[in-house]
Amino acid sequence: MTELVEPRAMGRALVRRDGVQKVRGTATYAVDTPVDLPAYCHPVQATIARGRVTAMDTTDAEAVDGVLAVLTPFDAERLASTEDAEYAVLQSDEVAFRGQLIGVVIAETSEVAREAADRVRVSYAGQPHDTELSADRDDLYAPGQVNAGHETDTAEGDVAAAMAAAAVTVEQTYETAMYHNNPLEPHATTALWDAAGDGFLTLWDSTQGVHPDRAAVCQVFGLAEGQVQVICPYVGGGFGSKGTPHANVMLTAMAARALPGRAVRLALTRQQMFFLAGYRTPTIQQVQLAADRDGRLSAIAIDVVEQTSKIKEFAEQTGVPARMMYASPSRRTTHRLAALDVPVPSWMRAPGECPGMFGPEVAMDELAEALAIDPIELRIRNEPEVDPETGKPWSSRHLVECLREGAERFGWAGRGPRGHRDGDWLVGTGVAASVYPTLRQATSTATIRFAGGRYVVEIGAADLGTGSWTILPQIAADALGVDVADVDARIGDTRHPVASVAGGSSGTNTWGSAIVQAAREFRGTFGTDPHDGAEASGDVDQAAQDEDHAAYAFGAQFVEARVHADTGEVRVPRLLGVFAVGRVINPRTARSQFIGGMTMGLSMALHENSVFDTRIGQVANHDLAEYHVVSNADVDAVEAYWLDEHDPYVNAMGSKGIGEIGIVGTAAAVSNAVHHATGVRVRSLPITLDKLLPALP
C-alpha cells in the first residue's frame, strides 16, 4: 500500500495554466522560438525504396541565391554513433526506404531551401524493393521481445485441444491498417551550436521528453549531457510520434553544426511526416476463442503478423492485452514480423493495446452472437479473479462496473440481436472493453523550492496538450498541503531535474510520484514554515512501488452506428465511454484526454488508412487531403465518464494514467455496432462502404 495524498486541489477542474498563452499565440513552439537571424533547412529525400545513391550534383542548388550550405552523404560530418540506423543521417549512400533523408539544404529562408532542395540532382543504383506485408510470407520471424519489453510469445494450456472440444468457437482473421500520427504541430526543431562549433548545442525541439531527447542526441553526436540543452515548453500534440526523436532532429543538429553561431530551423512538412515520423504497423491478427454453452471461455489465442523496417526493429506488442483481459484456462499469443524496405514503425497512441483490442473484442462480439448471449453479459461471465498472466491480484479492476454504468447511461437495456431501420438508415449499437496498463517509469526527479512566499516545482516534464502545466501544481499543492494558487511549475527544459518521457500514459504517475516524494522531503526538512530559498528534491525510485498487484485501467466503449441502406455510408452519432482509471487529477483535462482518444479511435475505425503503394514503396495518400482524419462534422456526441475509483497500490496520487485508454476498444465497438445495424461483420479496418455495400441487405 502507498500512503495516498489527501486530495484537495486534485479532483478540481482547474483551467489550463497555459491556455491564455495558447489562445493569444504567445506560447512558443519549437520553430517559432525567437532567435536572431535563423536559417532554414529543407531535406532531400530518396526517391527509390532500396539501393544506393551513386552521385549527388549540388551545383544548381548551391547557385540559388540565399543558399548557405548543402550537405550530402558524401560530405556530411561523421557521427560518433551510427548504432541506431534511424538516426545515422547522411552517413552512408545506402537507401533503406523511400523518403529516407539523403541530404539537406540550409538557406536564408525556408522557401529558398525548398527550391534548392528540388534542384539537387541525385543518381541511384536501385535494387528491387520488398514492402508487402502478408501472413504467408516465408521470412516472418519472431523478435527477441516486443515493445515495452514484453515477451514475444506466451502459452498456457492446450488451445488446440480446447478448440476441438468446445461447444462454440470463433476463429477469424482481423486486420488493422497502417496509421500515421498527425499532430497539429509538425515535427520541428531549432538548433544552435555556440560559435566555437564543437561546444554547446541548444535544441528547441518538439518532444515528449526533453531528457530522453537529449540522451539520444548526445549518443549520436558523442556529446556529454552538459553540452546539450533541450527546451520544449509546449508541444502541439505527439501521440507517441514525438516520444522518441526521429531522424529530422539529428539532421537539424547536423545542419546547425555547419553554421556555428547561427540558429537553424527545420519543420517537417505534412508529407515528409509520412516518411520520417514513425507510424503504427498494419497488423494481421488470427484470433481463436472457444467457449461452453454458457459462454465461459476455454481458449483465447491471438497470433499476430506485423511489419518492421530492415534498418531498425520495432515490434508492436499487439498480442499483449489478450494475455490478461479474460479468464481462460488455455491461452496463446504470438508475434511474427516481416522486415521490409519501409520506414521505421514506432509508437502511436496505445501501441499494443489499441490494435490488439480490435480483433479480440470483435471476436467476443461474434462469440456473443453465436451463443445468443448479450455481449456485456459474456464479458462479465469471463471476468478473471486474478491477473491470468501473472496470477497476481488486481490493484483494482472495475471493468464490470464500467460496462454496467455505460449500459445504463447509453440505454442498452432491451437491445435485441439486431438493430432497427430508421428511414434509409440501418441503426445499431455496439460495445467493447478497453484496457491500458498502469505504468510508472524508473527515473524522474523533482525539486521544490520556496521563494518569495511561493512554491516552485521544477521537473523536466512535458505537456503535449495533455495538461501537465496545470495538474503537476495540483499534485504538489496537495502533497505540500498548500493552496494550488501558491504553486508554480517549471517544466520542459533539461535545466530542470531529469524526467521520463510522456509515454505509456506514465507521465503523471511518474512525475507526480517524484513531486510527492520531493514534497515529503521538503516538509520533513523544513516543516510548514520554511525559510526563503528552502529547497528539497525527491526521486520516483524513493517512492513506494507495489510489485504484488497487477495494475491496469479499464473502460467500456459504447457506440451507435448508422449505415445508409443504399450507399453504405457509415455515421457514428454517438460515442460513450466509462472508464476506471484511479483518481482523476483534473476532470477538465482528463475529459479532453478521454474524448480525444475516443475520437481518434473513431477515426481509426472509419477513416484513417495509410494506403501503401507497394510498386513504389510509399504511402500514396501522404497528406491530410487524402489521409482522412475525423473532424467535428464526423462525430456528434462524445461522452466520457469515469468511476470514482480508489486504488491504494498504484502510486501516492492513486492515478492510473489516462492518455491512451480512450482510443482502446473504440474501433471494435464501432465494428460491433455496424454489425448490429447491418448484419455485416467487418474484420478489416477501416470500415469503408466498399466493405459493406456488397453484403448489405
- Enumerate binding residues for ligand MOS (CB under 6 A): 208, 239-240, 243, 347-349, 351, 503-504, 660
Position with the least CB separation from ligand MOS? 240
Give whichever of 208 and 468 is closer to ligand MOS, judged by the CB atom.
208
> Could you say which of 86, 458, 645, 660 is catalytic?
660
Question: 660 an active-site residue?
Answer: yes
* Minimal distance, residue 50 CB to ligand MOS, in Å: 28
What's the closest the beta carbon of residue 333 comes to ligand MOS, in angstroms?
A: 20
What is the closest distance, in whole angstroms, from the C-beta atom of residue 349 to ligand MOS in the complex? 5
SS (H, E, C) 334-361: EEEEEEECCCCCCCCCCCCHHHHCCHHH
Q: Write the burial class of residue 131 (CB in 10 Å: 0-12 exposed, 13-18 middle, 19+ buried).
A: buried
Among all chains, which residue has been given the C-alpha cell 548504432? Answer: 83
d(CA 412, CA 402): 13
Shortest approach of ligand MOS to residue 600 CB, angstroms? 11
Q: How far is the CB of 5 from ligand MOS (least distance, A)?
A: 25
Amino acid present at 646? H
Pick between residue 656 and residue 675 the one whose CB is nearest to ligand MOS: 656
**Nearer to ligand MOS among residue 563 and residue 664 (C-beta):** 664
**Secondary structure (DSSP) of 683-696:** -BSS--HHHHGGG-
Burial class (CB in 10 A: 0-12, 13-18, 19+), 527: exposed
Q: Which of 488, 489, 513 is nearest to 500 (CA)?
A: 513
Residue closer to ligand MOS, measured from CB, 503 or 582: 503
Three-state DSSP class for residue 184: coil
Indicate the residue among 351 and 359 with the shorter CB distance to ligand MOS.
351
Q: List the grid coordinates of 598.
A: 475516443
20 phi-psi bin (left φ>0, alpha ψ -120 to 50, beta other):
alpha
Could you tell me the strand order of the sheet in which 94-95 lies? Answer: 94-95, 51-57, 121-126
Instruction: For ligand MOS, give the closer residue by CB, 244 or 330.
Output: 244
What number of CA atoms fall less than 13 Å from residue 236's CA on the CB side?
18
Which residues are CB-neighbours of 102 under 8 A, at least 6 positions away?
44, 45, 46, 53, 56, 72, 73, 90, 95, 122
> How many CB atoms are located within 10 Å of the residue 62 CB?
15
Helix axes of 507-526 and 468-480: crossing angle, nearest 10 degrees: 30
Q: Which helix (H) or strand (E) holds 298?
A: strand 297-309
Min dist CB 348 to ligand MOS, Å, is: 6
Between 38 and 659, whose beta carbon lies closer to ligand MOS?
A: 659
Between vectors from CA 343 to CA 620 and to CA 224, what angle results, nearest 5°? 140
Q: How far is the CB of 455 from ligand MOS (least distance, A)?
A: 29
* Full 3-state SS string of 305-339: EEEEECCCCCCCCCCHHHHCCCCCCEEEEEEEEEE
> What type of residue is 648?
P
Cα(600)–Cα(667) distance, integer angstroms: 9
User: Which is nearer to ligand MOS, 265 or 349 (by Cβ)?
Assistant: 349
Please answer whether residues 688 and 674 qualify as being in contact, where contact means their C-beta atoms are separated by less than 8 angstroms.
no
CA distance 631 to 493: 33
Beta bridge partners of 450: 455
If the CB atoms of residues 306 and 660 are measured against ligand MOS, the closer one turns out to be 660
Minimum distance of ligand MOS from residue 660's CB (angstroms): 6
Question: Toward ligand MOS, which CB reaches closer, 242 or 562?
Answer: 242
| Residues near 321 by beta carbon (within 8 Å), at least 6 away in sequence | 352, 353, 356, 357, 360, 435, 664
H helix or E strand, kind and range, residue 176: strand 168-176
- CA–CA separation, 526 vs 533, rounded Å? 11
- How many residues would you count in the chain? 697
Q: Which is nearer to ligand MOS, 311 or 348 (CB)?
A: 348
Q: Give the three cell numbers for residue 568.
A: 453504405
Q: Of 169 and 441, which CB lies nearer to ligand MOS in the complex structure? A: 441
- Sequence-separated (6 or more) residues with CB below 8 Å from residue 425: 562, 563, 564, 565, 571
Q: Confirm if 576 and 406 have CB atoms less than 8 A apart.
A: yes
The C-alpha R_g of the chain, in whole angstroms, comes to 26
N-terminal to C-terminal alpha carbon distance within the chain: 56
Which residues are part of the catalytic machinery? 660
